[in-house]
Amino acid sequence: MPTRENQELTQTMSEHPEDDPALLEALDTVIDGYGSEKGVLIPALQSAQNLYGFLPEKVLKHISKKLNIPYSEVAGVVTFYSYFSTVPRGKYLVRVCLGTACYVRGGKEVLAAIKDYLGIDVGETTQDRKFSLEIGRCFGACSLAPVIMVNDTVHQRVKPERLKELLAPYENDEVEANEGSGEETTGGSV
Amino acid sequence: MPEITINNQKVTVEEGQTILTAARSIGINIPTLCFLEGYEPLGACRVCLVELAGGKTLVPSCSTPVTDGMEVYTNSKRVRQARKTVVELLLSEHEGDCQLCDRAEDCELKELAYELGIRDVHYEGEKPEQLIDESTPALVRDSGKCIKCRRCITACNTIQGVGALFPQYRGYRTTISPAFASDLESVACVQCGQCAAVCPVGAISEYAHTDSVWEALDDPSKFVVVQTAPAIRAALGECFDYPAGTLVTGKMTAALRHMGFDRVFDTNFTADLTIMEEGNELLSRLKKALKDKEEVALPQFSSCSPGWINFVEYYYPQFIPNVSTCKSPQQMFGAVAKTYLAELEGVDPKDMVVVSIMPCTAKKFECRRDEMNDSGYQDVDYVLTTRELGQMIKGAGIDFRSLEDEEMDKPLGTSSGAADIFANTGGVMEAAVRTAYELVTGRELPMEKLHIGPIVGLEGVKEAKLKIEKPLPDWDFLDGAELNVAVAHGLGNAAKVLEAIASGKADYHFVEVMTCPGGCIGGGGQPRYTDNAVRQARINAIYQEDEGKKLRKSHENPEIIELYKKFLERPLGEKSHHLLHTLYKEKETV
Ligand code: SF4
Ligand code: SF4
Ligand code: SF4
Ligand code: FES
């Protein structure tokens, strides 16, 4: 997940951060620090995502060339881990748990309702870059299923018909990107 | 050495052998779909499961080493049931339109399902999205047919060092494909077709030109000539159940006439021509370097193999000046056919269609390169692989096995033994040396049967040294010189040679590179399935063809001498430069 710093950076960044030479230089410096040993691809991708907020195609191609790793292999790693994202993330990342407990207690319906409400699919971001939608595994709150997380805040016993209310504070920017809402249990890192 | 029993048969095996190789060594076949001889077993497909006495679970035989006293059962009830389940599961996710499939004849999955007696699929699988990739002129990929065995990854990444194919996404969405499930055009694929050569099913095949060729043959206004690459004659027979390594030159010629080609010619003719041009190019580079002390790129690299050309253009552009400017024999043929031959036959080149039979998928790409129209037309119109030709002969109702041998037409059907060996690794080098040595010394290459022993065979990188003594006066600067040559096949091996040269660890004058393991005889368009035993059998056949000819050296080919006299004037002359030579350009990998 994006950290507090880069979340803010992403907010203030231009539409096309991948065209910013300063960011690319910063990335190269980090990668150069890793030396040339095997296994630098994943750390390099992590650094890139921290810098850019996501992994733009141009940056991935740059990494492929710089590390001399075939582009298809780079893409294979990026698409394997749901941690990596090739599309810009929204200010709020909504993650719907589809672990067993949540799944049987209506997680699927919650997901369908969120997709419907936000008008995006899993892995996508709303036009206004406010929300991204992803699926999560267990958040460790099974007894209170179904559960969703919005950034670091866990929302429990979510009901599809009350989604609008739940998301309203985010929609109206009443919640800071990295602040828990206070009313809900805050989950640990996932 | 461990002793084990397989199906109650005792067998002594070498330490470290797998159950699979042990079983095969005593004639017990275990089916495999992902295993590739000579490479790390992947353990991906699970059809090679076997039972061990006392074992709770079945084990994959391709990746399980033998241990002393092991009792293996390859055909127990449990094994048969498990195998059936595995294959049924594969079929449940498979786009199984066998009648419409390129692999209908030799599909390993279809054959396995038949052998296991599967008549019904008891599982309902989710079929992956079927993406058809026709982005390159060489290959077609069909993701709906892919069984995710990963053999193509080994071919592309481990053997060729290209890495165009990798697993993308995860879980049920996994697809074996270029970056982000895109197409081959969007990555730096060299179009060698080695992925297609190892694919057990119809998920990667050549881009077919069969319909276009029939159309040309059906058109009475077209003068259709065909050229056959050196490697076809040693492999085409396999399409008609001859054992690997059966020479079918005469039957192939007859079949092509029956199909309706107006002239049946030989790429070997222009292989001889290539030697004249490339041999002289090498000598002129050596002269510049050693006598005139000019800056010149050495070593010279061979340029017959279009996958290799792509590889240099993408991955090692700094070596572009080292690559011979000679077009490949296929392209020289097209350029000569639509000029010299058109004149001889009194045919307007616009009405001439040149078809090549090639062991190669990259040749389909090569004939469409922008540079390949020096005759004023696209020099080569269509390229058929050996497999496509086999299919067309069958479709035409020709009983290949009962054909009488026929001879190729003149003049572009006459060739030397030196041209035959272009088909295999080491052959272009040997052919060039046979001619260059004689040009320089006036004497025949002093080697047994004219073969350069150290560069014969399937070793990945081979080297030889050749001392030049008592040259003719024109070449006196070469007196006492030692010529260092290297031969590599498989682009992974080529990369090793390039790295050694770049780091100053190796110093050669001439390097032959063939894209495919074993050379063209192991090309991406050859009958499947090609392992080292098949490669060796085809190579043996090629040397047999070479040694059986009176004419063993390119410069002695009378039709080549005639071509220079009547048309080209001299090697590296102005006409040659225009028709037979080309340039390369750096390409971006991403
Ligand atoms: S790949 Fe094999 S099983 Fe699948 S459709 Fe083609 S021939 Fe049939
Ligand atoms: S054609 Fe060659 S380079 Fe291209 S994907 Fe297949 S094996 Fe790789
Ligand atoms: S394309 Fe063919 S070789 Fe590659 S994974 Fe799929 S089935 Fe296997
Ligand atoms: S051949 Fe052994 S797992 Fe595929």
Q: Which DSSP category does B371 fall into?
A: T
Does any domain span residue B426? yes
B36/B166 same-domain check: no
Of the CA atoms within 13 Å of residue B419, those in its CB half-sphere come to 31
Provide CB contacts within 8 A for B76, sequence distance 6+.
B51
Does any domain span residue B411? no
B265/B352 same-domain check: yes
Task: Identify the CATH number of the domain in which residue B429 sits.
Answer: 3.40.950.10
B321/B304 same-domain check: yes
Task: Identify the CATH number of the domain in which residue B66 sits.
Answer: 3.10.20.740
The verdict on the CB of residue B525 being under 6 Å from ligand 2 is no
Q: What percent of chain B has pLDDT over 90?
A: 97
B529/B546 same-domain check: yes
Strand partners, B301: B323, B511
Model pLDDT, residue B48: 98
> What mean pLDDT is predicted for residues B484-508?
97
Model pLDDT, residue B325: 98
Classified as helix, coil or strand, B30 is coil
Q: Which DSSP category does B458 fall into?
A: S
Q: Are B199 and B101 in contact (CB under 8 A)?
A: no
Model pLDDT, residue B157: 97
Model pLDDT, residue A21: 87
Residues in chain B: 590
B182/B238 same-domain check: no
B300-301 and B510-514 strand pairing: parallel
Given CB atoms, is A181 within the 8 Å cutoff of chain B?
no
Residue A13 reports pLDDT greater than 60: no
State how far Cα A175 lies from the chain centre.
17
Dihedral sign of CA atoms B20, B26, B31, B36 in order: positive
Q: Are A160 and A110 in contact (CB under 8 A)?
A: yes
What distance in Å separates the CA atoms of residue A66 and residue B503, rounded to the nearest whole number? 19
Provide CB contacts within 8 A for B254, sequence distance 6+.
B403, B404, B405, B406
Residue B226 reports pLDDT greater than 80: yes
Question: Residue B50 burial (CB < 10 Å; 0-12/13-18/19+)?
Answer: buried
> What mean pLDDT is predicted for residues B532-547?
97
Classified as helix, coil or strand, B62 is coil
What distance in Å separates the CA atoms of residue B223 and residue B481, rounded to the nearest whole number? 49
Residue in chain B closest to A72 (alpha carbons) equals B179
- Reference A178, options A156, A157, A153; nearest CA is A153
Classified as helix, coil or strand, A136 is strand
Task: Identify the CATH number of the domain in which residue B248 sits.
Answer: 3.40.50.1780
Q: How many CB atoms lie within 10 A of CB B477?
A: 14
pLDDT band (50, 70, 90) for residue B578: very high
Model pLDDT, residue B227: 98
pLDDT digits (tens, 9 = 90+) for A86-110: 988 888 989 999 888 898 899 999 9
CB-nearest partner of B180 from A64, A65, A75 = A75
B127/B226 same-domain check: no
Number of domains in chain B: 4
Taking each helix axis from N to C terminus, what angle separates A21-33 and A57-67, rounded to the nearest 10 degrees? 40
Average pLDDT score over chain B: 96
Does any domain span residue B82? no
Task: Identify the CATH number of the domain in which residue B127 sits.
Answer: 3.30.70.20
Model pLDDT, residue A19: 84
Classified as helix, coil or strand, B126 is coil
Query: Cα–Cα distances in Å, from B16 out to A71, B12, B51, B57, B60?
Result: 35, 12, 19, 21, 15
Domain termination site, one of B204, B220, B244: B204
Residue A15 reports pLDDT greater than 80: no
> What mean pLDDT is predicted for residues B332-354?
98
What distance in Å separates the CA atoms of residue B473 and residue B470, rounded to the nearest whole number? 9
Residue A188 reports pLDDT greater than 80: no
pLDDT digits (tens, 9 = 90+) for B125-162: 888 889 999 999 999 999 999 999 999 999 999 999 99
B488/B443 same-domain check: yes
* Sheet with B71-73, side-by-side order of all strands: B9-12, B3-6, B71-73, B49-52, B59-60
B64/B147 same-domain check: no
- Reference B571, options B272, B268, B270, B280; nearest CA is B280
H or E segment to which residue A47 belongs: helix A41-52
Does any domain span residue B103? no
CB contact under 8 A, A72 and B166: yes
Query: Cα–Cα distances in Å, from B353 out to B319, B382, B506?
Result: 34, 8, 44
> What mean pLDDT is predicted for residues B435-451?
95
Model pLDDT, residue A10: 45
B555/B572 same-domain check: yes
What distance in Å separates the CA atoms of residue B154 and residue B166, rounded to the nearest whole number? 10
Structure tokens at B35: 């295993």
> A141-150, B258-267, B531-540: lowest mean pLDDT where?
A141-150
Does any domain span residue B62? yes
Domain termination site, one of B48, B75, B102: B75
Range of the domain at B459: 278-327+416-580
Residue in chain A closest to B157 (alpha carbons) equals A70
The verdict on the CB of residue B205 being under 6 Å from ligand 2 is no
pLDDT band (50, 70, 90) for residue B541: very high
Does any domain span residue B9? yes
Q: Residue B524 C-alpha to ligand 2 middle, in angstroms?
A: 9
Q: Are A74 and B166 in contact (CB under 8 A)?
A: no
Q: Residue B205 C-alpha to ligand 1 middle, in angstroms?
A: 12
The verdict on the CB of residue B32 being under 6 Å from ligand 2 is no
**Catalytic residue ranges of B:** 278, 281, 304, 324, 363, 366, 371, 520
Residue nearest to atom 3 of ligand 4 (CA): B43
For residue B32, the ligand closest to its alpha carbon is: 4
B295/B240 same-domain check: no
Q: Are B270 and B580 in contact (CB under 8 A)?
A: no
Question: Residue B106 burial (CB < 10 Å; 0-12/13-18/19+)?
Answer: middle
Structure tokens at B13: 């095996």
Structure tokens at A81: 């881990």
Which residues from B are below 8 Å from A73, CB to CB? 157, 163, 166
Provide CB contacts within 8 A for B474, sequence distance 6+.
none
What distance in Å separates the CA atoms of residue A54 and residue A18, rounded to the nearest whole number? 10
- Reference B272, options B214, B326, B344; nearest CA is B326
The verdict on the CB of residue B155 being under 6 Å from ligand 2 is yes
Which residues from A are below 8 Å from B178, CB to CB? 71-72, 75
> What mean pLDDT is predicted for residues B351-365?
98
What distance in Å separates the CA atoms of residue B537 and residue B527, rounded to the nearest whole number? 13
CB contact under 8 A, A75 and B157: no
What distance in Å separates the CA atoms of residue B182 and residue B133, rounded to the nearest whole number? 8
Model pLDDT, residue A14: 58
Classified as helix, coil or strand, B169 is coil
What distance in Å separates the CA atoms of residue B49 and residue B41, rounded to the nearest whole number? 13
Q: Are B189 and B162 in contact (CB under 8 A)?
A: yes
Q: Is the peptide bond before B411 cis (omega within 30 degrees of 0)?
A: yes
> A39-53, A131-145, B69-83, B402-416: lowest mean pLDDT where?
A131-145
CB contact under 8 A, B180 and A79: yes
Q: Are B125 and B92 in contact (CB under 8 A)?
A: yes
pLDDT digits (tens, 9 = 90+) for B173-196: 899 999 999 999 999 999 999 999
B468/B567 same-domain check: yes
Which domains are present in chain A? 4-80 (no CATH), 92-171 (3.40.30.10)
- Reference B501, options B262, B357, B321; nearest CA is B321
- Reference B375, options B342, B414, B410, B329; nearest CA is B342
Residue A125 reports pLDDT greater than 90: no
Domain termination site, one of B158, B178, B204: B204
Model pLDDT, residue B256: 98
Residue A154 reports pLDDT greater than 50: yes
pLDDT band (50, 70, 90) for residue A37: low
Q: Which amino acid is at B340?
A: Y
The verdict on the CB of residue B48 being under 6 Å from ligand 4 is yes
B298/B317 same-domain check: yes
Mutate to test the interface with A, among B153, B160, B166 (most CBs of A within 10 A): B166
DSSP per-residue string spanning B267-287: HHHHHHHHHHHHHHHHHHHHH
What distance in Å separates the CA atoms of residue B269 and residue B329, rounded to the nearest whole number? 8
Does any domain span residue B588? no
The model's pTM is 0.90
Q: Is the peptide bond before B39 cis (omega within 30 degrees of 0)?
A: no
